[in-house]
Structure 1
Amino acid sequence: MMTSRLLRLAAAVLVYGGVALSLPERSDATRQEEPVRAATAPQADRVLWTESGRWTRNLHVRSSRVDGGGVRRVYDRLRGSTSALVPSPDGRQVAFVTCCRDVRPLLVVAPTTGGPALAPLADHPELEGVRGLGWSPDGQRLAFTALVAEGEDLVASLWTVRLDGSDLEHVLTVGDVLGEEPLGLTGETTAWTRAGIFYTQGDALRLARDGTSEVVMRRVHGVSTSMDGRWLVLQRQRGLVSQTWVARTDLSRARKVLQWDLDGSRWAYRGVVANRDGSRLLAQRQDVRAGGPHHWIAWDTTNGPRSHEVLPVPEDTSVVAWQ
């Protein structure tokens, strides 16, 4: 039998999660082969990914060099899943949320080459439905959104916390997710910069600072940052046209670096993230016309996806990140 907490979370998912934009499911089509080139990113760079599993069946996080060697076990937990992996600014740790049982930690921080993991919210059972992770510029704290039950209301707020769970701070209240107006918190990550904390709500990019927030860009449904904190990666949507933009953290030098039409383009992309300095991007790509499999690819930001290289990451992996 589901607990009252799980019932609240199940109801909240419908409005708190927003509308997910994903690739078309065409796994029964014939596989389309293409030449695979070895990735040439510096050997110091690594990638993180989750091994495949049925929804909440398991959660296995791995890391490796970009060339596929040096695989390390980062985290293992039965009956769990995650929607994003967020490396720390120095690349030594990765943070992620877990779904969907009361008995597992809501938020995990693990060394990217393996070792004991931290559970920063273990002593804060009042927080539920965590998502929207982002590291502080100094790598000492995490920002996130979470739900708190207040009587009949289920209130979403932006919080920060130290990795050991201390100094939990309330940044601002977003609103009641079960109210008449859905909040539409669409992003799986936030971007904590020296200017403030960027997050997405509805179709807008917002900047939280000094206990308030303001809209700084429209038609944005996802935001992340390069590990060095110099670049934002923005996921934008206009009708069926999806775009990826990059911009400085003050929103200067904003430019479109990727575009595809969900109803006409050959290629569709998901999970676009930047490497350490924003010079390269990584994404899951699918040939939607032929219904081909998913490949994880990387390319030079200035040259576009035509310069891509296929990464030696399992094709059915659902979440990948640079480290």
Structure 2
Amino acid sequence: MLTSANETLDIDLLILPETNLILIASVIEPLRGANRISGAELYRWRLFTPDGSPAETTSQIPVPASSGFRSTSDTAPLFVLASYNWQRSATQALKMQLSQTARHRSMVAGIESGTWLLAEASLLDNVSAAVHWEDFDDFALAYPQVRAVKDRFVIDGKRITTAGSLPTVDLMLEIIRRRQGYSLALEVSRLFIYEPASGQNAVELSPSTAGLRMRDPRVAQAIRLMEDHIEQPLLLARLARRVGVSARHLQALFQDSIGAPPHVHYLALRLNAARRKVIETKDSFADIAAATGFNSASAFSRSYRASFSESPSGTRRRLRGRATAAAEPT
């Protein structure tokens, strides 16, 4: 699940009553975004509830389920989602089902309060687990055999845990990054734009910084400069001077803030801009290469294939095939 791959990944979601709608969306929407942006079915998901009835969300918007959850030998990753009053669903039967199916699953994830249910089913013994900050002390006291940590999400062997809705988005982006690469994860992150309240000190967000948690305003400034210089990329030394730091310091700031060096992020921005042109225009590949800062169409094609596992012509050919199939009468 967490290694480079382009085949479809099936994920099962067990949704407990009184789960926040935004928590469900935090798992599904990044996967849907990855499918839409890539133009391929990279991810599929099935929704289960303990009894098969629609999931009762806190928003009073029911979410249909495929069926009731049962212990099976399925190997697909299982995500257990819960927000409030998870104890009401933590029956001995459900805990037994989780324990049995966990023997076969490639990964089991506790999403927000789902962490509690996994701990209750003894599925987090001797592993590290992320817990919502409000519940941290109570969780650590209740389950001393679990190493509770104050992180947004934790991947520890075959167990994953998250500390809330936005940390779950972070997790899904990390899964996409590990499977399909930094470029796609970056483009998916841009779908989730959060703007702080306007004011004199508000940090300006551009499409390239949306969805990224900027720990340093110099990183945000550098990314905006990258966005403004797609056609003629700035050298790292010049970019650093514009920001007011050394090249080495800028590299350290990027690594600390977004977990990637400047050249990786810059190349992802350019390739994503190129991919949009490949999909949305009929421009020649030579023109697209020039517009996104590549020296030649061949250099562009090599970088494109390395990032997206297909050539620019392959992308257009595949999407034409899908459009033709959709237009054919059934």
TM-score, normalised by the number of residues in structure 2:
0.30
Greater relative contact order (Cα 8 A, min sep 6): structure 1 or 2? 1
Please identify the structure whose Cα radius of gyration is greater: 2
Q: Which has the higher helix share?
A: 2
